[in-house]
Amino acid sequence: MTVLNKKYFEEELAESYDLTQDAIAFYNEFGYVKLKDVLSAEILSYYGSLITDLVFKLNKLTKPMEERTTYERAFLQIMNLWRENDEVKEFVFSKRLAKIAADLMQVQGVRLYHDQALYKESSGGITPWHADQFYWPLSSPKTVTVWIPLQKTSMEMGPLAFAEKSHTVEIGRDLEISDESEALMTAQLKQFAVNETPFDLGEVSFHAGWLFHRAGANVSGSARKVMTMIYMDKDQQITEPRNSYQQADWETWLSSKTVGSNPDGALNPLLFSY
């Protein structure tokens, strides 16, 4: 890569995105929003290649698909790639993406909770209905995940689907991602409209921590490669863990910081602030 191209990438990752008030209103009403043309094809190709190399390098899930649990069949999951590669860190720390997160949540700034690559293999199964914040010992619902497909994502690949407005109810908030959460939400779906549509190249989604979402199986014959970052309000507070998963997250991603304090340790850098 030339120095000129690298400079262009850095500028794009820092440049402000034209986020409309309609998009902000949609996010706050429905709990998610899909945004077109957030990242260029060149950005996704360059950083996607680096992310893919790290996923294959760091992945430890090698069991045959038929021997895996439902969760394991859903995707290969590699976390905090920003600590493994300085160029991937540039992507994860993008002010363009972090500012969108802050503006959607209508907060003054955001910190990183963690990043994670989610690669659904060509024979990968469904990702069951679930709400992410079940796993997070955080006091406020001001959390959001950006879901970034690294390729154009057809229905056959298993794009993300959203149960609209499900972040406003407390159904299933005590369930981990599992066959049980899938069955419960499938039974409850009459309460919610579901948005499940393909993603164009450069299109990304942002969804709230308590919004229920899922993804179909990948029957495309090619891997569905996705990178995500989880953002939290910079004024978020840590709460007492309420389950074993939150206990693990508190120790792993929040450095076991004191309950009631802000998650402002070295693993949770401030990515954007007004």
Mean pLDDT of 67-84: 79
Sheet holding 160-163, edge to edge: 127-130, 213-215, 160-163, 194-196
Mean pLDDT of 220-236: 96
Burial of 190 (0-12, 13-18, 19+ CB in 10 A): exposed
Across 89-217, the runs of DSSP E, i.e. the strands, are 109-120, 127-130, 143-149, 160-163, 194-196, 204-208, 213-215
Contact of 219 with 48, CB cutoff 8 Å: no
Sign of the four-CA dihedral 120, 122, 225, 35: negative
pLDDT tens-digit series, residues 156-165: 999 999 999 9
User: What's the CA gap between 54 and 165, in Å, rounded?
Assistant: 35
Across 12-91, the runs of DSSP E, i.e. the strands, are 32-35, 76-79
User: What's the CA gap between 274 and 266, in Å, rounded?
Assistant: 20
pLDDT of residue 46: 95
Mean pLDDT of 186-208: 93
Domains of the chain: 3-262 (2.60.120.620)
Contact of 156 with 218, CB cutoff 8 Å: yes
% of residues, the chain, pLDDT over 70? 94
pLDDT tens-digit series, residues 103-145: 999 999 999 999 999 998 888 788 899 999 999 999 999 999 9
Q: In the structure encoding, which two tokens stand for residue 56, read together? A: 């294959």
Among 160, 162, 168, CA closest to 195:
162
- The one-letter amino acid code at 134 reads F
What confidence category does residue 67 fall into, taking pLDDT thresholds of 50, 70 and 90? Answer: low
Q: Which helix (H) or strand (E) holds 179?
A: helix 179-188
pLDDT of residue 172: 82
Q: In the structure encoding, which two tokens stand for residue 100, read together? A: 């969108």
What confidence category does residue 71 fall into, taking pLDDT thresholds of 50, 70 and 90? Answer: low
pLDDT of residue 126: 87
pLDDT tens-digit series, residues 16-61: 999 999 999 999 999 999 999 999 999 999 999 999 999 989 987 6
User: What's the CA gap between 206 and 32, in Å, rounded?
Assistant: 5
Across the chain, the runs of DSSP E, i.e. the strands, are 32-35, 76-79, 109-120, 127-130, 143-149, 160-163, 194-196, 204-208, 213-215, 224-233, 270-273
In DSSP notation, 116-131 reads EEEEE-TT---EEEE-
- Helix, strand or coil, per DSSP, at residue 200: coil
Q: Which residue has the higher pLDDT, 211 or 184?
A: 211
- The one-letter amino acid code at 185 reads M
Burial of 159 (0-12, 13-18, 19+ CB in 10 A): buried
User: For the whole model, what pTM was predicted?
Assistant: 0.94
Q: Which helix (H) or strand (E) holds 100?
A: helix 95-105
Mean pLDDT of 56-85: 78
Determine how many CB atoms are found less than 10 A away from the CB of residue 123: 14
